[in-house]
Structures are given as C-alpha cells and as structure tokens.
Amino acid sequence: MNDEVMTPDVEQEDELLAMSASKYLTFSLGDEECGINIRNITEIIGLQKITEMPDAPPYVRGVINLRGKVIPILDMRLRFGVEEREYDDRTCIIVVMVDNISVGLIVDTVAEVLDIEQGNIDPPPKIVHDGSHNFIEGLGRVEKNVIILLDIEKVLYDVDLEGIA
C-alpha cells in the first residue's frame, strides 16, 4: 500500500495555468466582440442597483453591494469611448479580480467562453495614440471573426479603485 499523498507537481500546475491562459470569456460592446482571460473572472451577475459616487470619472458608474462586499462598477462602453446606450435585459456585470480587488464591468452581452490557441492570437497593432493606455493584449482569430482580447490589468490601471470602494 502506498502512503504517498497525491499533490499536483509543478509541471501539472504549469499545464493547468497554460490551459486557462487560452480561455477567454467573450462579450460585446456595440459591434465589437471582446474577451477577457477567465483567470481574472470570478462571476457574471445581472444588473442591480448602483450607488453613484461623487467626483468619479464618467465611466465609473458607482458601487454595488455584492453579498456584503462593496464593489466598484465600470461601464466598459464609456471606458473605451463607445457611444453610451440604455441598459437592457441582456446587459450584465462581469466581476473580475485584479490585485485582490474585485471590480464589476458592465458589458452589453456575454457570449461564451472560447479556447483560443496561442497560434491564433496576434499582437495588437502598433498604433500611435494620444497617451492613453493600450488595453489590448492581442487579437484572437476565431473562424472568420477577430476578437479583441483585453489586458484587464491595463483596463483598470489608472482607475483609483481603492478610492471608490
């Protein structure tokens, strides 16, 4: 009888990390399809009452109380300069965790989780821009579609989350 305790070794952990590294939750913002790596996503919830915060940037809609935890809410349309629209029954909040801080991202619709192989991800185009952050991690090719893969840490980079929540 073997008394050895079965624990994942470093290779197995790396393999699990690599598997999750190619899985993206896709969602729409207007006509564009975007994706966020699932390793940052904790849950998807419906819209709920948002308490506005004074002096916050326009894309920071406010905060919600999610099971006793105050979470800042960002409207991704406004964050990326996409025309604002009224929320509907398909609008939802993707809750992400970055640096142990939970943040809710309002998106038009959530589509699906896609497995995008590294070979099908191109680097973002080199575009000269006016000092704003480059939020694009890469461009995923899935069949005939291109999905904008977002670097969620860069999306949240200049947002003072601790000052909001």
pLDDT of residue 131: 42
pLDDT of residue 51: 95
CA dihedral (102, 107, 112, 115) positive or negative: negative
pLDDT of residue 14: 56
**Alpha-helix runs per DSSP H in 1-135:** 10-21, 76-79
pLDDT tens, position by position, for the chain (165 residues)? Answer: 444 444 555 565 555 555 545 899 999 998 899 999 999 999 999 999 999 999 888 899 999 999 999 999 999 999 888 899 999 999 999 999 998 999 999 999 999 999 999 889 998 877 655 444 478 889 999 989 999 999 998 888 766 554 544
pLDDT of residue 158: 64
pLDDT of residue 28: 95
Contact (CB, 8 A) for 92 and 47:
yes
pLDDT of residue 135: 85
Task: Tell me the domains of the chain and their CATH numbers.
Answer: 10-164 (2.40.50.180)
b/e burial code for range 113-137 (CB count within 10 A of at least 16 → b):
ebebeeebbeeeeeeeeeeeeebbb
